[in-house]
């Protein structure tokens, strides 16, 4: 049996919270579903030990009396997409399970808020900047074929910004990331031009946190929050390290990261001021 993915844990955690809010036991759902569900099956779904089918989730929601159409739609989408084979699975030879989880969650998110103090967020990369960053941060053999594949993945992820209902991205970037030197100055010039271009899109907001800012919560490190509609209980915080990735899923812990984002937004330059600074840095290159 495969290890539970973040998506399956999201689904199970949310269904369990809905059930417990009504004071019901897992066995109670069996009675409410006229035996179509068993307590054991509900337990396996809630603990992410088994992949739920859309039919099972619909039965659970009916048994719980969930009438909220948006919540039902979000949870059924989580279920369907969890069973879907994503484009990224053809790159499994170069992707870690944690990276696959990130791409999968990213593909379904409605909004992402990200804080990146020393590098530009991947969803905003040019191909050459992506190659530079991937090569520089590789902690295993950075063979040309592997780097090529990872660059392809990095750029393919950006489809979430151009789909029919594009993801809303709010990126807060440290000024140091904009002033970093690349092997070829043209790489950074093109990357800064791309930021200026993308910031014109209504669903993309870019802020810069200047190096002159007072001490702030972002000094604890980079993170991103992936959100799904208006249901904050489905949000996930993502923190990446050299060897692994951490997904923060507990609602109270995610709330800490949401508060951190608000503090960083307040500390950063306004979007307009940020564009002026990016243009100024670009002209200094």
Kindly report, residue by residue over 219-246, the tens digit of the pLDDT.
999 999 999 877 767 899 999 887 778 9
Query: Tokens for 195?
Result: 């930021």
Answer for the pair 42, 60: CB distance below 8 angstroms, yes or no.
yes
Q: Is 32 exposed, middle or buried (0-12, 13-18, 19+ CB in 10 A)?
A: middle
The secondary element (H helix, E strand) that includes residue 37 is none
Task: Give all domains of the chain, ordered by start, each with its CATH number.
Answer: 6-83 (1.10.260.40), 88-284 (3.30.870)
The whole-angstrom separation of Cα 193 and Cα 182 is: 15
The whole-angstrom separation of Cα 262 and Cα 50 is: 36
The pLDDT of residue 228 = 84
Kindly tell me if the per-residue pLDDT of 261 is higher than 60: yes
Query: Tokens for 147?
Result: 């780097």
Kindly tell me if the per-residue pLDDT of 3 is higher than 60: no
The secondary element (H helix, E strand) that includes residue 30 is helix 26-32
Q: What is the band of 285 on the pLDDT scale with cuts at 50, 70, 90? A: confident
The pLDDT of residue 145 = 83
The pLDDT of residue 199 = 97
Kindly tell me if the per-residue pLDDT of 2 is higher than 50: no
Kindly tell me if the per-residue pLDDT of 4 is higher than 60: no
- Residue 150 makes CB contacts below 8 A (sequence gap 6+) with 94, 130, 134
Residue linked to tokens 């709330």: 255
The pLDDT of residue 1 = 32
Pairing of strands 223-227, 111-116: antiparallel
The pLDDT of residue 61 = 94
The pLDDT of residue 69 = 87
The pLDDT of residue 180 = 93
Residue linked to tokens 């199970």: 12
Q: Residue 209: count other Cβ atoms within 10 Å of its Cβ.
A: 23
**pLDDT, tens digit, 9 for 90 and up, residues 36-88:** 999 999 999 998 888 888 999 999 999 999 998 888 888 887 787 666 667 88
The pLDDT of residue 65 = 94
Q: Residue 31: count other Cβ atoms within 10 Å of its Cβ.
A: 13
**pLDDT, tens digit, 9 for 90 and up, residues 87-101:** 888 898 888 888 888
Q: Give the whole-number percent of the chain exceeding pLDDT 90.
A: 64
Taking only Cα atoms into account, the Rg of the chain, rounded to an integer number of angstroms, comes to 21
Residue linked to tokens 């179509």: 36
The whole-angstrom separation of Cα 205 and Cα 198 is: 9
Average pLDDT, the chain: 90
Would you say the pTM of this structure is higher than 0.75? yes
Answer for the pair 114, 139: CB distance below 8 angstroms, yes or no.
no
- Residue 251 makes CB contacts below 8 A (sequence gap 6+) with 232, 233
- Regarding predicted confidence, which is higher, 88 or 207? 207
- Residue 277 makes CB contacts below 8 A (sequence gap 6+) with 175, 178, 208, 210, 269
Kindly tell me if the per-residue pLDDT of 148 is higher than 80: yes
């Amino acid at each position: 049996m495969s290890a539970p993915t973040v998506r399956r844990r999201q689904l199970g955690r949310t269904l369990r919270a809905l059930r417990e809010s009504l004071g019901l036991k897992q066995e109670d759902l069996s009675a409410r579903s006229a035996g179509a569900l068993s307590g054991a099956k509900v337990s396996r779904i809630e603990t992410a030990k088994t992949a739920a089918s859309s039919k099972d989730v619909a039965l659970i929601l009916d048994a719980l009396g969930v009438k909220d159409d948006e919540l039902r739609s979000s949870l059924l989408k989580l279920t369907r997409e969890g069973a879907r084979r994503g484009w990224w699975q053809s790159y499994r030879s170069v992707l870690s399970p944690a990276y696959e989880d990130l791409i999968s969650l990213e593909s379904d998110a409605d909004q992402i808020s990200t804080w990146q103090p020393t590098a530009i967020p991947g969803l905003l990369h040019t191909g050459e900047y992506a190659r530079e960053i991937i090569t520089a941060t590789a902690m295993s053999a950075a063979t040309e074929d592997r780097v090529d594949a990872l660059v392809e993945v990095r750029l393919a992820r950006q489809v979430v910004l151009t789909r029919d209902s594009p993801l809303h991205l709010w990126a807060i970037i440290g000024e140091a990331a904009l002033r970093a030197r690349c092997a070829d100055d043209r790489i950074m010039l093109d990357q800064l031009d791309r930021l200026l271009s993308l910031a014109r899109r209504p669903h993309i907001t870019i802020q810069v946190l200047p190096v002159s800012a007072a001490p702030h919560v972002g000094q604890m490190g980079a993170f991103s929050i992936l959100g799904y509609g208006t249901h904050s209980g489905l949000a996930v915080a993502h923190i990446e390290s050299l060897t692994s990735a951490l997904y923060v899923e507990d609602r109270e812990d995610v709330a800490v990261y949401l508060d951190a984002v608000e503090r960083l937004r307040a500390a950063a330059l306004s979007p307009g001021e940020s564009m002026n600074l990016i243009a100024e840095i670009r002209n200094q290159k």
